[in-house]
Amino acid sequence: MSAHLPPIEELIPHRGGMLLVERVLAWREDWVAVSATPQPSTWYAEAEGMPSWIGIELIAQAVGAHVGLLARSRGEPPKKGVLLGTRAYRSRLASFPFGAPLRIEALLTFRDETGLGSFDGSIALEGAEVAKASLTVYEPEDFDAFLAQASAAR
């Protein structure tokens, strides 16, 4: 399913400094690989590079790209979703170096009819895995109603 890969902006709603992934490298129905290259001119920049805790968001954006690609393959627009949580995020690095391309992968491990899902994600630098996590995500049928309900619950 990697023949035509659309621009990342067609798959996820992030823009400007919040768009951390650059492009889709490959995908199939249960998996996606995207790329990101940490830059020193960004909001997250520290002297050593991109703090590795941002890896959770890198994996989440890979998941978003996967969801967008699935919707696109069905002729539907991408839907918005939320990251509910992460389990066991581990990074061997304190930061990801500037200018070094990262490969972020997300493998679908669970999805139900309500929109609840789980992905195992990983981040590789120069072909070696440097971070990984499991993410729980939710893609509500009506995102605006979901946000309204969440705001009312506060």
- CATH number of the domain that residue 109 is part of: 3.10.129.10
According to DSSP, residue 115 is labeled S
**Residue 2 forms part of a structural domain:** no
Residue 124 structural domain: 8-152
Residue 3 within any structural domain of the chain: no
Q: At a CB cut-off of 8 Å and minimum separation 6, what does 61 contact?
A: 12, 14, 19, 20, 21, 34, 104
Lowest mean pLDDT among 6-10, 35-39, 79-83, 90-94: 79-83
- Is residue 74 domain-resident? yes
**Does residue 150 carry a pLDDT above 90?**
no
pTM of the model: 0.93
**65 in a domain, yes or no?**
yes
Confidence band for 118, pLDDT divided at 50, 70 and 90: very high
Distance CA 114, CA 138 (A): 8
Give the pLDDT confidence of 58-88 residue by residue, as tens digits.
999 999 999 999 999 999 988 888 999 998 9
Pairing status of strand 82-91 against strand 128-138:
antiparallel
In a domain, 77, yes or no: yes
Domain count, the chain: 1
User: What pLDDT, in 10s, does the model give residues 39-53?
Assistant: 999 999 999 999 999
